[in-house]
Structure formats: C-alpha cells, structure tokens
Amino acid sequence: MIVVLRKDASPERIVEARDLLSKKGIDVRAVAWNNQTLLVTHQELAPEEVAELERNGITERVVNSTLRAQLASKEFQGKTSEVRVGDVSIGAMKLVIIAGPCSIESRTQFLETAHAAKRLGASLLRGGVYKPRTSPYDFQGLGDEGLPLLAEVREEVGLPIVTEVLAPEKVDLLSKYTDMLQIGARNMQNFSLLKAVGKSRIPVLLKRGMMATIDEWLQAAEYILLEGNPNVVLCERGIRTFEKATRNTLDLAAIPVLRKLTHLPVVVDPSHATGSRDLVTPMAKAAVAAGADGLMIETHPNPERAFSDSHQQLDLKEFGNLVEELEPVARAVGRLLR
C-alpha cells in the first residue's frame, strides 16, 4: 500500500504517521517522491488503519495495488509517466528514437553517427563506454577515457545521451557526462547498482534481463523507485528462448501487458532482440504498432567494422529508411514521430 502524504505535511507529522504504522508492526518506508512523501508498505493495511490515516489531515490518498511493485503499479499512477531526459519526454505522444553505436569507438565515429542520427530523426543518442561483453577478450569499451567524448558530442550535436553503467561506484561520475543511465540486461538484478541509480535522480533506462519475467523486471524497477528516483523507463530487448533463428526472442506482448500493469514508459530495442540487421526495421514497426513509447536502434557509420554487435547495427542510410518507414505506422496508432 502507498500512503500519499500531502505536500504541506510537516516533517513532524510525517514521522508521526510513519510511527503509527511501525508501532503496529507494519514494515513501512518513507520515500521522497518528487516534492511529496510517500509511506510505502508491501503489507495490506486493515480498513480501520486506512481510516485512521485518512483522518490524520496529512493523507492525500491511500493506494492499494495487487502488484508487489507498488510504486511501479498502474494503481499508483493511472496514466503513463513522462520521463524527462534533457528536453526530451519519454512516455508522451511523440515517439522517442534513441540511436547511436553499440560502443563508442572513436571521436569521429561517435560524432558522425550523432550528427546523422539527429538529422534523420533521433531525439536521444546512445553509445557505450563501458561494455558488458560475454567474453573478456572482446572489446570492453573505451572506459574512463571515453567519458569526455560523451560530453563533447552532446554539446556539439545538442542531443541528450544515454550510456550504460556497470558499477555502483561509477554512477556519480557518469552522471556528470550523460543524461540517462542504462542498466543492461545482464545487470537487471544487480541490486546494489539498482539502489545506486535509485539514490541519484538521473533518468534510468532499465533493460529487461534476458531470463527475466515481467514481474521480476517490475520488481527490479521498484528497487530504483523505492530510493526516490521516479525517472525509470523500461526497455524490452528480447528474452532467451529455445529459438535460435534470432539472437533473442522479442516479447512484443510485453508492451500491452506492461501497459496494464505499470505507468512506466516502455521502449523497445529491436537491435539486441533480433541480433540481425534485416530484422530490425520490421520489429521496430511492430513495436510501435503494439504501443511502445520509443525505440532504441544501434547505428554505426560502418557496421561491418564495428567493434561490437556488428551484425545488428544499421548503417546511417538504413537508419534513415527505418525512420521513413515508421512514419505511417506511428500515424496509424496516433503517435507523432517528429
């Protein structure tokens, strides 16, 4: 249950309300949420306890969700939340296209991709400096050396940037160079990382773990929300199934399922979901048709030479074609592309 306290509730009265529940043996947490305080518990409150809270003069409303991930739940916030990243809003009518290379390899590669991505319709840039690679022999990203490039390209091109964070101790440092932090599939249940990004207020793109159910994914999001960071966007990037024809299996049904369960915006990454360049555009269209709030598309000036994920990155012309082809699909489902 979530007890939403009024904005003008004094700190003393907040402590009083929290203690009232704690004394009854209820495990309750006070969460700073935008400019309000929430008292959150996974336990059900008895009707007389709810009535008592409602009488205390500082309770705005009491929310009960059947979902264990209370703060992520649709009952808490009925309509899709808009998460602001720089001057871009994810979860609004306008679809958000995040484009850029899998890894940042050099200044020229990132800058060229960034300029083209902007011109062709992307509103957010992506690019990894710390790469979570399956093999330790594979390119691990430019690391700390790549950080100034993020800031430089953001400044020069004028698009906000999302980049992956692998370790809790890098959250503050990375936040200086980027506008949104990505938690990759391999780290979806890295709880210390989730808590660390939760303590910051930077927007977070939380990718679905490759073996995660939707419920586990929402509970991972709850770790971030419970620390008081409301700026969470979910990213469906395919899950592992028995099917080998694609790198992963894109769970498109997750989009309408999430719409029912959560207010968090949902973007889809057809690049990692399919692992194959020729499948990216059809699945991007399908994702938009199914109601996604945005797409994440890996793009590279010369995918054949890419240091990572070379089979799935689109070249810049292919990316431009994808955006063109998306236009009628977006229109058909009442979304704007530009």
Interacting residues toward Mn ion by CB under 5 A: 102, 309
Burial (CB count <10 Å: 0-12, 13-18, 19+), residue 94: middle
Burial (CB count <10 Å: 0-12, 13-18, 19+), residue 79: exposed
Distances (CA, A) of 30 to 6, 25, 77: 13, 15, 18
Contact, 296 vs 267, CB < 8 A? yes
Interface with ligand PEP, residue 237, by CB under 6 A: yes
Interface with ligand PEP, residue 240, by CB under 6 A: no
Which is nearer to ligand PEP, 207 or 300 (by Cβ)?
207
* Distance of closest approach, residue 194 Cβ to Mn ion, in angstroms: 21
Among 42-50, 51-59, 181-189, 326-334, which window interacts with ligand PEP (CB under 6 A)?
Answer: 181-189
Residue 5 tokens read as 């306290």
Residue with the CB atom nearest ligand PEP in the bound state: 184
Kindly state the number of chain residues that form the binding site for ligand PEP, as judged by CB under 6 A: 9
Which is nearer to ligand PEP, 53 or 280 (by Cβ)?
280
The CA dihedral of 96, 336, 91, 191, to the nearest 10 degrees, is: -30
Report how far residue 337's alpha carbon sits from residue 122's, in angstroms, rounded to the nearest whole number: 9
* Distance of closest approach, residue 223 Cβ to ligand PEP, in angstroms: 17
Which is nearer to ligand PEP, 56 or 246 (by Cβ)?
246
Q: Which of 270, 275, 286 is nearest to 333 (CA)?
A: 286
Which is nearer to ligand PEP, 154 or 207 (by Cβ)?
207
* Distance of closest approach, residue 238 Cβ to Mn ion, in angstroms: 12
Among 32-40, 179-187, 192-200, 286-294, which window interacts with ligand PEP (CB under 6 A)?
Answer: 179-187
Which is nearer to Mn ion, 99 or 102 (by Cβ)?
102
**What is the residue whose two structure tokens read 């939340």?**
81
Q: Which of 309, 294, 287, 3 is nearest to 133 (CA)?
A: 309
Among 8-16, 115-123, 151-159, 178-186, which window interacts with ligand PEP (CB under 6 A)?
Answer: 178-186
Interface with ligand PEP, residue 184, by CB under 6 A: yes
Q: Which of residues 97-136 bind ligand PEP (CB under 6 A)?
A: 102, 128, 132
Q: Which of residues 14-53 bind ligand PEP (CB under 6 A)?
A: none
Interface with ligand PEP, residue 295, by CB under 6 A: no
* Distance of closest approach, residue 10 Cβ to Mn ion, in angstroms: 49
Longest dimension (CA), the chain: 66
Q: Which of 83, 78, 68 is nearest to 233 (CA)?
A: 83
Q: Which of 331, 320, 330 is nearest to 285 (CA)?
A: 330
Of the residues 154, 170, 247, 272, which one makes contact with ligand PEP according to CB under 6 A: 272
Which residues lie near ligand PEP (CB under 6 A)? 102, 128, 132, 184-186, 207, 237, 272
